[in-house]
Amino acid sequence: MSTMTAVPEVEAATKFVGTPKKVSTHVNQNEGLIFEKSSPGKKAYRLAELDVPAIDAKKLLGPALRTDLGAMPELSEIEIIRHFTRLSTWNYAIDLGMYPLGSCTMKYNGRVNEAVSRLEGIAEAHPYQPQALAQGCLQIMKTLEDALIEITGMDAITLQPAAGAHGEFTGILMVRAYHESRGNARRKIIVPDSAHGTNPATAAVVGYEVANLKSNAQGMVDLAELERMVDEDTAALMLTNPSTIGVFESDIHKIADILHAKGALLYMDGANMNALVGKTRPGDFGVDVMHLNLHKTFSTPHGGGGPGSGPVACKAILEPFLPKPIVVTEDDGSLALSFDRPQSVGRVRIFYGNFGMFVRALAYILANGPDGLRQTTEDAVLNANYLRAKLKNAFELPFQQPSLHEVVFSDKLQAKNGVKTGDMGKRLIDYGFHAYTVSFPLVVSGAMMIEPTESESREELDLLVDALKQIAREAAENPELVRTAPHSTRLQRLDETAAARKPVLRWRGQAETGLEVGTPAKEW
Amino acid sequence: MRYLPKSPSDRQQMLAEIGVATIDDLFTSIPAEYRLTRDLDIPRQHGESEIIERFRGYAEANANGYASFLGAGVYKHYKPVVIDSLIQRGEFLTSYTPYQPEIAQGTLQAMFEFQTMICELTGMEIANASMYEGSTGAAEAIMMAVRVTGRNAAVIARTVHPEYREVIRTYATHQEIPLSEVAYASNGRVDMAALAAAITNDTACVLIQSPNFFGTIEDVAAVAELAHSKGALLIVSIAEAISLGIVKPPKEADIVSLEAQSFGVALSFGGPYCGVLACKEKFLRQMPGRLIGETKDVNGKRGFVLTLSTREQHIRREKATSNICTNQALVALMTTIFLTVYGKQGMQELAEHNLAKADYLRSVLAENGTILFDGAPRFHEFVLDVPEGAAEMNEQLLEKKIIGGLTLHEWYPELGPGASLWCATEMTKRKDMDAAAAVLAELGQAQLVGQ
């Protein structure tokens, strides 16, 4: 373990080294790969007694019988618990503290959400069980759909997409189907240069050309440029609002008008919906179709990178094209899945979506109610503006317009000393935080994008402010310390170039580092 | 609101430090005509006990106390308790995508272990860190085969899950990938003569499922030989991952698309599940989705990072291999723990129990119905044909609190109205199988009397 003050000793006496207030270093356990801990004959299971006659697998399967399971591990239960618990302690998490990651909306994940998703009648519902015996699941979907339609101000919704990018795919498929139904699919989708990478990638997957829209000097949509680009061949504009610099597109109605005048549609990337819920509705400001990220705005857990859920809401003109099936209310008041959707874009996923995430998102909405959701948005915006006010003298603020839920600084002041946004992000780890979003959006050189969310107390925000100010001072007085951060973690900077040049994507049988052969690695 | 860590005076002080009077001063960039001045019309704020009560109500409105013989792409297996106690650790549950590897080694190492286990199980050389689920995984595999071969069309077995085929159609339409479907032979396996005829010079890949939708295990080696002889890749989709404990892995395939839900993941009315793509190493650069790679830190210690992201959308934008961004990390972790609990021996024993249960179910149902597609090995599903019609049969079964096999008429009209797909796993009880068989026997008697 290195320590926080891992700087050359001679220099340490003269150069500033900050004092993290949020964390202290402590011992953490070493742990090899699960395969390195395995020994033949160990078990962590016992099957129930077989209540039917045993079979001869060789006789039933013939040449299809498998005889070797390769390097699958063999361990006891205590070793498994320790293995994964040790691994878990190497992760940072919301439960440990703030993630100032912009556009990622890392908010608190309420635990009641987890509890209700595990109720047996919900967790063990089979997607093909008769609809009369799945009314509870359909009620959950319908209640969530109604709430999300009201929150977005749209007319209809599908919960089927499995994640945000999958929602984009679905939304753009619907755009395409809409235009096709009017005789011409059109050729291009306009994407601002400040957009998430998924936007252009999605347009391409749906068979559209991507036209890049350059932002204006304020980092916003350049109306004149947009007007010049939009023509009868434009299918849609994919817009993030508030934009990726955390600013509301105040000319949103003009943007919508420019598109609609040429028959093009306005698609909204809902990644930043946490700035809007309860305060304004995309459906009211001209959006035709949008996706939501339940794992951002509606607090379903990120889980280290998924599962997500990306519902797509739309105006009535796009409703016929929603993926099938959709939930409908029958005459007798019962709910049913309707597959009779001749204009549907088809299925984008098996079954009905990441249902377990619907349960959690609905529990979150119920825990909040209308007053709680509005207060949530207000607190998220309050937190971002507080950080902006406290940090604007330490870091360059490239755009001066008012921020909503996130604020983008740049490393311009620190880059003079050779300290880049990525370095300061890494140094923030030593101060007990996750890094902010580094080098995104692309319209800001050296971007430092910070979204605190509503989940942070004033104390936690003050700790972040203190950490970033100390890092700014370190960047000025002790740049090498920042450039080589982090210093306090289990591992220091990892060689990502080597990982990509000679990819090692699986364990191949030799323990390379960690526990040496002959040390008491096993539990016995 | 109990999730918000601020007192009213905190808010006032913060507003003062920002230099505004009220919170609405921070929302002035939203044009006044679009500001919402009323409450959202959604359910009122609930207390925690009310939320639990409400969801208990939903749970009770679902099937309760029914025995079920449903499978068809999603399977009820026992979930060892350690899975849930480990994945509910906040460090796993509430961590972000591991873009900062120094503070995400837990997730990264677990995903590296996942990739290794998937390689071992499928017989492939590399695997990604998971995909949304099996159907979109299969669609991504086809697009990958198109990129690898420079050919444009795909041939799909009719015994691939019908909903998978629908999803593939949705993806293929806009990629302009022509699809053709190949029928099954009388033993339930893909019709080799029809397959030979369907593969053309423009065929990028053949997609089969094994065990297929009818539960039949395909002759993967033979299909691979045929596809390869015509310059096409073979993609094998596996919807029942437990089969890999006892069925030969599809080593001859070029890409395997696996749905790993069976490895300890709840049915949860259709998701979230855990897709994953595995393939030959030479196709690495065309693989979609996140990949975890081994490397060293500046002190030479082993560590893991997200790697080869130059394939991905956040770097390549419209030229990316796919628009996919998230994986199913937490679900992949569940499957990794499941596989660790059962391990090398347990996977085999567990699969054997599934085989035994399904064989018993087949034997008792065969007394009053016909088992279709004999003559090829199957895993734990099979198609039953009853003269009374599957719908009538299932109605009778429901009266005894049994959810029978999935009726197949809509997806496979050629099988007639009597066909249904039955599944037994290690969780299926003998008494329930006997009870289902008794209902079928009564139904048969009633029909005889009726005649």
Please report residues of B whose CB lies closer than 8 A to that of A460: 5
Cβ of A494 and B327 within 8 Å?
no
In chain A, the residue whose alpha carbon lies closest to the alpha carbon of B268 is A123
What is the DSSP code (8-state) at residue A438? E
Residue B355 CA to residue A54 CA, distance in Å, equals: 9
Residue-level pLDDT at A73: 96
Interface probe, candidates B13, B40, B350, chain A, greatest A C-beta count within 10 A: B40
Q: Cis peptide before A40, with omega less than 30 degrees from 0?
A: no
Residue A349 CA to residue A370 CA, distance in Å, equals: 31
Interface probe, candidates A368, A494, A501, A515, chain B, greatest B C-beta count within 10 A: A494
Closest to A45 (Cβ–Cβ): which among B268, B328, B341? B341
**Which of B307, B338, B369 marks a domain boundary?**
B338
If asked whether residues B135 and B74 sit together in one domain, one would say: no
Q: How near does any CA of chain B get to the CA of A14, in Å? A: 25
Assess if residue B205 is contained within a domain: yes
Of A371-375, A491-495, A509-513, B444-448, the poorest mean pLDDT is in A509-513
Is residue A199 over pLDDT 90? yes
Mean pLDDT in residue range A235-240: 97
Buried b or exposed e, range A167-179, using 16+ CB within 10 angstroms: bbbbbbbbbbbbb
Cβ of A379 and B6 within 8 Å?
yes
Cβ of A491 and B102 within 8 Å?
yes
Cβ of A307 and B330 within 8 Å?
yes
Residue B445 CA to residue B287 CA, distance in Å, equals: 56
Taking only the tens place, the pLDDT of each residue in A63-110 is 999 999 989 999 999 999 999 999 999 999 999 999 999 989 999 999
What is the CATH classification number for the domain harbouring B132?
3.40.640.10
User: A9 or B397: which carries more pLDDT confidence?
Assistant: B397
Mean pLDDT in residue range A27-35: 96
Please report residues of B whose CB lies closer than 8 A to that of A45: 80, 341-343, 346, 350
Residue A45 CA to residue B264 CA, distance in Å, equals: 13
Closest to A150 (Cβ–Cβ): which among B41, B293, B429? B41
Where does residue A289 fall: left (phi above 0), alpha (psi -120 to 50 degrees), or beta otherwise?
Answer: beta
Interface probe, candidates A202, A266, A505, A515, chain B, greatest B C-beta count within 10 A: A505
The set of residues, in sequence order, having a beta carbon less than 8 Å from that of B218 and lying 6+ positions away, is: B157, B159, B189, B190, B208, B209, B210, B211, B212, B236
If asked whether residues B417 and B311 sit together in one domain, one would say: no
Mean pLDDT in residue range A496-508: 95
The CATH number of domain A114-366 is 1.10.760.10 = no
Closest to B120 (Cβ–Cβ): which among A70, A108, A404? A70
Closest to B105 (Cβ–Cβ): which among A47, A127, A490? A490
Which token pair is A417?
A: 């000393």
Residue B56 CA to residue A258 CA, distance in Å, equals: 49
Is residue A3 over pLDDT 50? no
Assess if residue B324 is contained within a domain: yes
Assess if residue B60 is contained within a domain: no
If asked whether residues B289 and B356 sit together in one domain, one would say: no
Q: Map out the domains of chain A as residue ranges.
A: 114-366, 378-499
The set of residues, in sequence order, having a beta carbon less than 8 Å from that of A67 and lying 6+ positions away, is: none
Is residue A8 over pLDDT 70? no
Please report residues of A whose CB lies closer than 8 A to that of B189: none
Residue A506 CA to residue B304 CA, distance in Å, equals: 11
Burial group, residue B138, by CB count within 10 angstroms (0-12, 13-18, 19+): buried
The CATH number of domain A378-499 is 3.90.1150.10 = yes
Domain total of chain B: 2
Is residue A512 over pLDDT 70? no
**Which of B322, B338, B354 marks a domain boundary?**
B338
CA neighbor of B440 nearest in space, from B386, B381, B374, B375: B386
Cβ of A127 and B300 within 8 Å?
no
Interface probe, candidates B131, B323, B392, chain A, greatest A C-beta count within 10 A: B323
Residue-level pLDDT at B310: 75
Cβ of A112 and B48 within 8 Å?
yes
Taking only the tens place, the pLDDT of each residue in A401-421 is 999 999 999 999 999 999 999
Assess if residue B419 is contained within a domain: yes
Cβ of B51 and A61 within 8 Å?
no
Cβ of B272 and A435 within 8 Å?
no
Cβ of A496 and B345 within 8 Å?
no
Mean pLDDT in residue range A168-197: 95
Helix (H) or strand (E) holding A361: helix A355-391
Cβ of A382 and B46 within 8 Å?
no
Cβ of A162 and B54 within 8 Å?
no
In chain A, the residue whose alpha carbon lies closest to the alpha carbon of B248 is A66
What is the CATH classification number for the domain harbouring B360?
3.90.1150.10
* A296 close to A271: Cβ distance less than 8 angstroms: yes
* A489 close to B102: Cβ distance less than 8 angstroms: yes
The 3-class SS string of chain B reads CCCCCCCHHHHHHHHHHHCCCCHHHHHCCCCHHHECCCCCCCCCCCCHHHHHHHHHHHHHCECCCCEECCCCCCCCCCCCHHHHHHHCCHHHHCCCCCCCHHHEHHHHHHHHHHHHHHHHHHCCCEECCCECCHHHHHHHHHHHHHHHHCCCEEEEECCCCHHHHHHHHHHHHHHCCCEEEECECCCCCECHHHHHHHCCCCEEEEEEECCCCCCECCCHHHHHHHHHHCCCEEEEEECCHHHHHCECCCCCCCEEEEECCCCCCCCHHHCCCCEEEEECHHHHHHCCCCCEEEEEECCCCEEEEECCHHHCHHHHHHHCCCCCCCCCHHHHHHHHHHHHHHHHHHHHHHHHHHHHHHHHHHHHHHHHCEECCCCCCECCEEEEECCCCHHHHHHHHHHCCEECCEECCCCCHHHCCCEEEEECCCCCCHHHHHHHHHHHHHHHHHHHHHC
Is residue A2 over pLDDT 70? no
Is residue A7 over pLDDT 90? no
Which residues, given as ranges, of chain B have pLDDT below 70? Answer: 312-315, 450-451
Residue B347 CA to residue B345 CA, distance in Å, equals: 6
Q: How near does any CA of chain B get to the CA of A447, in Å? A: 15
Buried b or exposed e, range A344-369, using 16+ CB within 10 angstroms: bbbbbbbbbbbbbbbbbbbbbbbbbb
Please report residues of A whose CB lies closer than 8 A to that of B90: 93-96
Helices (H), A182-209: 198-205
Mean pLDDT in residue range A338-356: 97
CA neighbor of A392 nearest in space, from A407, A374, A371, A373: A407
**Which of B338, B361, B394 marks a domain boundary?**
B338
Residue-level pLDDT at B324: 77
If asked whether residues B188 and B225 sit together in one domain, one would say: yes
Q: Tell me the average pLDDT of chain A.
A: 93
If asked whether residues B146 and B263 sit together in one domain, one would say: yes
3-state secondary structure of A210: strand
Cβ of B353 and A47 within 8 Å?
yes
Strands A447-450 and A407-410: antiparallel
Residue-level pLDDT at A514: 36
Taking only the tens place, the pLDDT of each residue in B132-142 is 999 999 999 99
In chain B, the residue whose alpha carbon lies closest to the alpha carbon of A202 is B323
If asked whether residues B326 and B284 sit together in one domain, one would say: yes
Residue-level pLDDT at B451: 64
pLDDT band, residue A524 (cuts 50/70/90): very low
Closest to A304 (Cβ–Cβ): which among B92, B245, B342? B92
Cβ of B42 and A365 within 8 Å?
yes
> B370 is in which domain, residue-wise?
67-78+345-450
Of A439-443, A514-518, B7-11, B410-414, the poorest mean pLDDT is in A514-518
Please report residues of B whose CB lies closer than 8 A to that of A126: 68, 70, 74, 76, 267, 269, 403
If asked whether residues B165 and B282 sit together in one domain, one would say: yes
If asked whether residues B379 and B419 sit together in one domain, one would say: yes
Q: How near does any CA of chain B get to the CA of A5, in Å? A: 16
What is the DSSP code (8-state) at residue A403? P
Cβ of A109 and B94 within 8 Å?
yes
Residue-level pLDDT at B100: 96
Residue A377 CA to residue A455 CA, distance in Å, equals: 11
If asked whether residues B333 and B378 sit together in one domain, one would say: no
Assess if residue B59 is contained within a domain: no
If asked whether residues B102 and B220 sit together in one domain, one would say: yes
Cβ of A458 and B10 within 8 Å?
yes
If asked whether residues B287 and B366 sit together in one domain, one would say: no
Residue-level pLDDT at A10: 52
Assess if residue B200 is contained within a domain: yes
Phi then psi for residue A209, to 5 deg, are -80, 145
If asked whether residues B312 and B368 sit together in one domain, one would say: no
The set of residues, in sequence order, having a beta carbon less than 8 Å from that of A196 and lying 6+ positions away, is: A103, A240, A244, A269, A271, B314
Residue-level pLDDT at B105: 98
Please report residues of A whose CB lies closer than 8 A to that of B13: 458
How large is the ipTM?
Answer: 0.97
Q: Chains A, B: CB contacts under 8 A, how many? A: 667
Please report residues of A whose CB lies closer than 8 A to that of B325: 163-165, 197-198
Closest to B62 (Cβ–Cβ): which among A53, A112, A135? A135
Please report residues of B whose CB lies closer than 8 A to that of A76: none
Please report residues of B whose CB lies closer than 8 A to that of A512: 302
Start-to-end C-alpha separation, chain A = 27
Residue B420 CA to residue B404 CA, distance in Å, equals: 8
Is residue A522 over pLDDT 50? no
